[in-house]
A and B are shown apart, each in its own frame.
Chain A
Amino acid sequence: MQRACGNRRGVYEVRVYTIYEEKARQLESGEAGSTWEYFRQVGVKIGRTIFTGLHRVNLSDLHNPDLLHNIYLDLFKHMMQWVDGFLKKHKPQQAFDDVAKEIPPNPGFNVPQKAYREVTQWQGKDMGNLGRCISAVLASTLPNPDSSQYHDFQIALKCVSALVDFSLMAQYRSHAPDTLSYLERYLLTFHQKKDNFLEFRTSKATRAEANHQDREFRELIANECAHEIRRTSAAKLRRQADQQRLQRVNERADLIRRENHFNFIKMHYLSHLSSHVRRFGSISMYSTEIGEPAHKDQIKEGYRRSNKIKLPARSCHTMAASMP
């Protein structure tokens, strides 16, 4: 069986499980040698878990894809942070808010009541809704980009559209080989284009490091200039200052580009979705999107109606009574 694994940039390579099995056998037979080192390098933890020895249980199959938590509440949230950063950089934030406010209603679609930047808390349903219109809203926000923005806008739109298409395709209740190939193609497009948003994936640590580097560079320049300032003309000083500023900005951009990455678990997990469909059926069957609202009817409603005495029994009774 082959799976994919990601490096720091999220370019997924094929991971061969048979090698792991062979190494694990070596480990069991006492030929440890460099096996521990090998597993450490590839990032695999070896040891007994609660599932070890259970018949027909494969650890890697235990995690089921979840549209609500994996895509809506996590990836869409990440995507919106990147889009927000992108809009801030190119300054059409107000236009985005204006378009988002004018979205017309549609069956099964909740029209947002507030502008995007006014919303403080996003629920899974809101994110799902936003995913269904974000691509068109973004396209409407950037209708006629100038030549300097054209390339960036095009790539950003393709990236966002690919992720939205992937999420929609993942919602299909039944699949055919064609639809699975579409699913994989959308994911590939997303991975190919997502580097456009890399600069908006800056963590606090990276930002602090960039600031530190910036400060050190300024101090160095200031020391150098202190010796030369008396012998140099004002025009030359200005030219030097411009060059130094450019150098500083470039170095900061290099550092951020070097340190930022898309290597997080939920990003990687998307690559397993198509194989999951092939083995276990459609993804929407496993989504907690259905179970979470059911909690409201089954537990909360029962709690509200009860006299708060013998709660579990009361809740079960209410639930049984509401069943057809």
Chain B
Amino acid sequence: MRLQTLDVLLKSENVVAIEGTGRETAAAPTRILSGWMKNVSTLAELCRTCNINYGDIMEEMLWFTNQTVADDHLLFSDPTELGLLPVEQFTHLEIRVADFQETDVFQIHRARSTGRMAFRSGGPRNDCVWIQAGGEDSYGDLWSRGVAQLLALFKIRNVFSEAAGVRRLALLRVLDPINSGRFHLTSGHIRVGKRRSGQEMRIVDIGTVIGQAHVIPTGESQWIVNHRIDLQMFNEIY
């Protein structure tokens, strides 16, 4: 990171001081799911609209639940319940990102995931996003940011348990950084590619998505990360 103002760094803690009271409060929600889709009420229907194998998504849901949710807040107690839980699908995720070197100005990144549906009389649109991944030293020059393609955005509610509540989730195809996320010597860019081994898809909480990524396809199953797309990215990745 080359330069940030002190105000911006304070803001990254997601805490805003209330003037005159000396108290602090959490900032407004920074992720909003929008664009509710009709005709999707279960995981099976979600799989059909996104053209994803039902078995894969079940496996991912199990992994996500075991990894992230505490025992008393489990999304489901029995995996067979999962298929019965109500699901709502959305077409875009609004992410509030602080503008570069500004304290009170925010940009709204609208990451779209339309599945197989066309976006504005064009083809389907499934954007690439930045996800928070690992510690600061992981992913090389990407500084603990991973690139992933949105496959579906959905909300799932556990009707059998009050404690579990509602989870807002994103189904992603994770792209692996090539050369451990270091800059490519010839082109001076970081490249990402399709995962060759291990699980390609991941389900994450929408809070893990930190912004919209700009990647340009190159070659076969590879993308160039365009870190010059805005000043924020340019300042952080170099």
- Report the Cα distance A105→B127, complex, angstroms: 8
Q: How far is the CB of A101 from chain B (nearest CB, A)?
A: 11
Which single member of B3, B229, B234 contacts A106 (CB below 8 Å)? B229
Which single member of A105, A135, A140 contacts B228 (CB below 8 Å)? A135
CB of B234 within 8 A of CB of A179, answer no
Whether B188 is near chain A, meaning CB under 8 Å from some CB there, is: yes
Whether A158 is near chain B, meaning CB under 8 Å from some CB there, is: yes
Whether A273 is near chain B, meaning CB under 8 Å from some CB there, is: no
Q: Is the interface of B mostly helix, strand, loop or mixed?
A: loop
Whether B30 is near chain A, meaning CB under 8 Å from some CB there, is: no
Q: For chain A residues 91-130, which have a beta carbon within 8 Å of chain B?
A: 99, 102-109
- Report the Cα distance A137→B108, complex, angstroms: 25
1/0 per residue, CB under 8 A from A, across B10-41: the answer is 00000000000000000000000000000000
Known: A102-B217, A135-B189, A165-B228. 20 other contacts (CB 8 A): A99-B217, A99-B218, A104-B216, A107-B110, A108-B107, A109-B230, A131-B228, A132-B228, A135-B188, A136-B189, A139-B218, A140-B216, A140-B218, A143-B218, A144-B219, A158-B188, A164-B228, A168-B231, A178-B3, A179-B3
Which single member of B5, B100, B212, B217 contacts A140 (CB below 8 Å)? B217
Whether B204 is near chain A, meaning CB under 8 Å from some CB there, is: no
CB of B226 within 8 A of CB of A136, answer yes
Chain A residue at minimum C-beta to C-beta distance from B223: A140
Which single member of A133, A150, A171 contacts B231 (CB below 8 Å)? A171
Chain A positions within 8 Å of B100 at CB level: 173
Given contacts A132-B228, A140-B224, contact A103 B188 (CB under 8 A): no
Whether B49 is near chain A, meaning CB under 8 Å from some CB there, is: no
CB of A133 within 8 A of CB of B216, answer yes
Chain B residue at minimum C-beta to C-beta distance from A174: B101
- Report the Cα distance A175→B2, complex, angstroms: 10
- Report the Cα distance A182→B215, complex, angstroms: 25
Which residues of A pack against B, CB within 8 Å? 99, 102-109, 131-133, 135-137, 139-140, 142-145, 150, 153-154, 157-158, 161, 164-165, 168, 171-176, 178-179, 182
Chain B residue at minimum C-beta to C-beta distance from A282: B101
Q: How far is the CB of B235 from chain A (nearest CB, A)?
A: 8
Q: How far is the CB of A75 from chain B (nearest CB, A)?
A: 16
CB of B228 within 8 A of CB of A136, answer yes
Which residues of B pack against A, CB within 8 Å? 2-3, 5, 100-102, 107-110, 127-128, 184, 186-189, 212, 214-219, 224-226, 228-231, 234
For the A-B complex, the count of residue pairs with Cβ-Cβ distances under 8 Å equals 97
Chain B residue at minimum C-beta to C-beta distance from A134: B228
Which single member of A103, A108, A145, A174 contacts B216 (CB below 8 Å)? A103
Given contacts A106-B212, A139-B218, contact A133 B226 (CB under 8 A): yes
CB of A174 within 8 A of CB of B218, answer no
Q: How far is the CB of A41 from chain B (nearest CB, A)?
A: 41
CB of B3 within 8 A of CB of A174, answer yes
Chain A positions within 8 Å of B234 at CB level: 165, 168
Chain B positions within 8 Å of A182 at CB level: 2
- Report the Cα distance A157→B100, complex, angstroms: 26
- Report the Cα distance A131→B3, complex, angstroms: 22
Chain B positions within 8 Å of A142 at CB level: 187
CB of B216 within 8 A of CB of A136, answer yes
CB of A168 within 8 A of CB of B186, answer no
CB of A174 within 8 A of CB of B5, answer yes
- Report the Cα distance A293→B95, complex, angstroms: 28
- Report the Cα distance A133→B225, complex, angstroms: 10
CB of B216 within 8 A of CB of A99, answer yes
Chain B positions within 8 Å of A135 at CB level: 188-189, 226, 228
Chain A positions within 8 Å of B214 at CB level: 104, 106, 109, 133, 136
CB of A133 within 8 A of CB of B219, answer no
Chain A residue at minimum C-beta to C-beta distance from B109: A107
Chain B positions within 8 Å of A168 at CB level: 228, 231, 234
Given contacts A144-B219, A158-B188, A174-B3, contact A107 B231 (CB under 8 A): no
Chain A positions within 8 Å of B189 at CB level: 135-136, 139
